[in-house]
Chain A
Amino acid sequence: MIDYAYAFAFSCFAAALLMNLWKILMAHEITDRILALDTMFINAIAMVVLFGVLLGSEIFFEAALIMAMLGFISTVAYARFLLRGNIIE
């Protein structure tokens, strides 16, 4: 039964990543693209954690932590660049 749950979660996050990619390609405004990129980072974190649980490995948690930090910093950098014109003043 737990294998079905993992397969369901994997397919849900895969569909979510595809929808985010579609939103990045087809959005009209720049804020939608940034928001879709941030959501893509979060969904990728969930997929990496699920992959680590499925393989029984501890290494993937560090990868997920680094991806969480990189996603936050890149989103803030994009927003900062659009707001102020540069990132570090």
Chain B
Amino acid sequence: MIIDILIAGFVAVGGLFGFVGSFGLLKLNDPMSRMHAPTKATTLGVGGVLIGSMLHAWAYEGHISAHELLITLFLLVTAPVTANFLAKVFINQQTKPDDLPGPSACSLWATHDKPEHHRTSEQPTDT
């Protein structure tokens, strides 16, 4: 009886999170915030469904199955990689060449280029 309540709770929470993730994909108005809703919420939704499935296999068929853990692990590993790739594609498509910063005036260390350094364009003194 307790295990039934647990399985029903996990499955219902998983379905609710899947719904909320797709609704956020449809409803949020900024593309970068649209990235946030599905990659977080559907992973949690699939996780809830898979935990419910593991509990079901343990309670009704009497064995612990590891397939669900494999799927959960794979989704948890690949979701940030997918989000990172999509963010890179979005930046690549949306950024114009005028918005990018110019090349550094300091020819020795490009990483030392601060905005005031860039404005005065002074040469490094220790060379």
Contacts and interface: CB of A to CB of B under 8 A. Distances in A.
A1 B5 CA distance: 8
Interface residues of B, number: 51
B12 A9 contact: yes
**In terms of DSSP, what is the predominant structure of the interface of chain B?**
helix
A49 B92 contact: no
Interface of A: 1-2, 4-6, 8-13, 15-17, 19-20, 22-23, 29-32, 34-36, 38-39, 42-43, 45-46, 49-50, 52-53, 56, 58, 61-62, 64-65, 68-69, 72, 75-76, 79-80, 82-83
B15 A10 contact: yes
A72 B82 contact: yes
Nearest to B88: A83
B49 A49 contact: yes
Given A10-B15, A39-B21, A79 B34 contact: no
